Amino acid sequence: MGFSSTAGLTLLLTTVLICSIYLYSTVDLTSLKVNGAYIEHSSYLKNKLDENIKISVSKFGEKTNITLLNQGQLTHSINDWNVLYNGTPVNFDITGDYYLVPLNNVTISINETSPGRISVVSEYGNRYYHNLN
């Protein structure tokens, strides 16, 4: 083997080594991102399964009060929830704390009293329904 063959082989092996190091680091970072997203998604699903809310509705004049009782182990931020009246999002007022802690309740008030369907959507996507008659 001459000098040019040895130099060519050395250059080729150096190039392969640099490319493999770059490829390994890229695959490693990507797999870490995928694993982090999987862990976040699985904890989201676990929280969705562990959520245990009971809903009761009462009418007072022009307002409808929705009482949410947390019978689960999670603390919820009510600001992240949505209230739908006949499928349309409505604004709601919160009486009490903005956080629903375990074994406690929060009352939400909306300005709808006519017959319809109320749907309360939690921060984890669970829906709780009640029909107004």
Q: Encode pLDDT of 72-115 as tens digits.
A: 888 999 989 999 999 899 999 998 888 999 999 999 999 987 88
What's the confidence (pLDDT) of residue 1? 65
What's the confidence (pLDDT) of residue 2? 75
3-state secondary structure of 1: coil
Task: Please give the structure tokens belonging to residue 10.
Answer: 């050395």
- The average pLDDT across 109-124 equals 88
| First-residue to last-residue Cα distance in the chain | 94
**At which residue do the structure tokens 């996507």 appear?**
125
pLDDT at residue 60 is higher than 90:
no
Domain 52-132: CATH class, spelled out: mainly beta
What's the confidence (pLDDT) of residue 109? 92
What's the confidence (pLDDT) of residue 106? 92
Q: Encode pLDDT of 24-53 as tens digits.
A: 888 889 999 999 999 999 999 998 998 999
Residue 88 parent element (H or E)? strand 88-90
Cα–Cα separations (whole angstroms), residue 78 to 55, 70, 113, 133: 14, 12, 22, 26
Q: Please state, in angstroms and rounded to a whole number, the distance separating the CA atoms of residues 111 and 124.
A: 25
pLDDT at residue 62 is higher than 90:
no
What's the confidence (pLDDT) of residue 59? 86
